A and B are shown apart, each in its own frame.
Chain A
Amino acid sequence: MNKALELVCPAGTPASLHAAVDNGADAVYLGFRDETNARNFPGLNFSRKELQEGLDFAHARGCEVFLAVNTFPEAGNPGPWRKAVDDAAALGVDCVILADIGLLDYAASHHPDLRRHLSVQASASNPDAINFYVDAFDVKRVVLPRVLSVPEIKALNGQINVETEVFVFGGLCVMAEGRCQLSSYATGESPNINGVCSPASHVRYEDEGDRMVSKLGDFTINAFDENEAAGYPTLCKGRFRAGGQASYLFEEPTSLNAASMLSELAAAGVTALKIEGRQRGRAYVAQVVAAFRRAADAVHAGEAVGDLGLQAITEGQAKTSGAYNKSWR
């Protein structure tokens, strides 16, 4: 392997951006503080001024900054999304991460020199879809949906001529990204339109004495005994009844950790590793980025990736390598 895996790290706040840069990120990704990005949570994201400061800080340290504009613009109201792309170009971000075809078209025609990456929210899972985005909008990198196994990623990379980036740590969508309406069905707010999934504004915990019930909208997502910790009611990580059996029907409350598969991902032709977690604090970001920096460097040096020592921050959380390992399906 002659090129090191690039590490693309989350920055929900300026403090997290500093933490990511200082701990070895090759690039940080972030969004503006509005519905134009898929982590539109209260207290997160960047103003134009904060982005300018973040760019100065990162660029001075050799780190790139990617701006996610990866929700789908509202019909009849393209303004905020186009302005986000315009401002990205004016401020000098290193690339925009886009999902919507109309917005890709706008960016390619109005800002041809602004590098474009395809967001995971575009759910481009096969060569013909990816080649379309490359041919039509000259995207330089595709963030692959978390539906593919490592052999499938390898086969895919053999049929496309564009960089690929894969998620390796953090939240795990079990549905194809950008193609899930479960959140809006229960709450009226969706990743595609509002940039949120299972939003906190619609979450309630009800203490019923012998059990704690977590609800999203009007629906019970899980219930916990007194000796169980009540987790956040992300819809697809809830416990439901089907065929008379209660179970984590879609997925356990688990998150992604593909640290053990980095060598295979590199051999499959992947260019960059993405860490999820723009909603995380700077201590978490610092620790995860530092751990994956060591891991990526080890892979580059042909050494084994040791234990990343991330147990402390993921305590109580089950981990999975997700679809990268085909048996997950």
Chain B
Amino acid sequence: MSAKLTLGPVLFNWKPETWRDFYFRIADETDVDTVYVGEVVCSKRAPFYAPHIPDVIERLQAAGKEVIVSTLALIMNTREMNELRETAGDRDLMIEANDVSACALLAGRPHAIGPYVNIYNEGTLKYFTGRGATRVCLPVELGRDAMTALVKDTPAELEVQVFGRLPLAISARCYHARAHMLHKDNCQFVCDQDPDGLEVETLDQEAFLAVNGVQTMSHSYQNLSAELAEMQSLGINHFRLSPHSTDMVAVAGLYRQVLNRALSADEADAKLAGLTNDAAFSNGYYHGAKGVDFVLPGMD
């Protein structure tokens, strides 16, 4: 199977028009095979851009992209539960589950499972493929050894995030609100001030994390450009780019060129560095190291 590039859901609180125009440009100009659309992080954000979702899906599908609707990772109240049930009730959509509740609602029909559901081993993977999961984006802390074991004998297409800040944690508490000394229930949507997350440094001014509402992410950008070929040889064929405010058309183009052997990973990395505000890259999880590490080829 040839390699597929996918674009994960926008994880940040972008202005509704920015969100819409981003996806229009993805539809019109970007060489990706699959696009995930939908709110994963905070249910309070969704109503703002929801009016644009039908147009976005239509435009993406018209451009030949496979569209998958992503769902919320942490469901804590009746409103969120009912919204998920409503989404899952639309049988025309391919849906990505990000909580076990969504896996349950989607059982018996083809669906995707995102990186927020803990599929760490072949027993769990087999359980979910037996209930209809056809695509599984692996949890971020799984590396090459786990991928090697999981890809064996599974009917599912496995997907790995290869670009973008890593989603590391999700909480009931909103750290964006807390950083602005606001209460979650009156957050004033301050997360919209940081289109790539609020950067978090140590007391010694070292870049560390990024806060995205109730989500905590890596400061570094995952970059598995140099690992694409090896993952393909293992049998992993779906590679996820997680959206940032940078030029994602350019980012996708670089990964496509690496997949096509038209560009070396080194050359791609040099260009990617210019597209990510020189944030550090990381690939440590893949190599069984700390997630923050960037392991040079052949050094693990």
Contacts and interface: CB of A to CB of B under 8 A. Distances in A.
Interface of A: 72-78, 99-103, 105-106, 122-129, 131-133, 146-148, 152, 155, 174-176, 178-182, 184-188, 190, 192-193, 213, 217-223, 236, 239-243, 245-247, 249-251, 323, 326-329
Contacts of B123: 73, 78, 100-103, 105-106
Contacts of B285: 184
Contacts of A76: 121-122, 145-146, 148-149
B203 A241 contact: yes
CB-based closest 9 A-B pairs: A102-B123, A76-B149, A147-B172, A128-B101, A185-B291, A72-B120, A132-B104, A75-B149, A102-B124
B97 to A, nearest CB: 10
Nearest to B152: A76
A241 B202 contact: yes
A176 B172 contact: yes
A220 B204 CA distance: 7
A242 B181 CA distance: 12
Nearest to B126: A102
A247 B200 CA distance: 11
Contacts of B255: none
B39 to A, nearest CB: 16
What's the dominant secondary structure at chain A's contact region? mixed
A127 B81 contact: yes
A128 B81 CA distance: 8
Contact of B124 (A101, A155, A218, A327): A101
Contacts, number: 223
13 contacts: A74-B120, A102-B127, A128-B84, A132-B104, A147-B76, A148-B76, A174-B173, A175-B171, A180-B170, A181-B141, A222-B203, A249-B175, A329-B173
A249 B210 CA distance: 11
A329 B216 contact: no
Nearest to A105: B127
B200 A219 contact: no
A131 B150 CA distance: 27
A240 B201 contact: yes
B120 to A, nearest CB: 4
A103 B289 CA distance: 26
Contacts of A328: 173
B27 interface: no
A249 B171 contact: no
A186 B290 contact: yes
Given A129-B75, A175-B216, A220-B203, A245 B179 contact: yes
B272 interface: no
A179 B292 contact: no
Nearest to A185: B291
**Among A184, A187, A242: residue with most chain B CB under 10 A:** A242
A76 B145 CA distance: 9
Nearest to A241: B201
A147 to B, nearest CB: 4
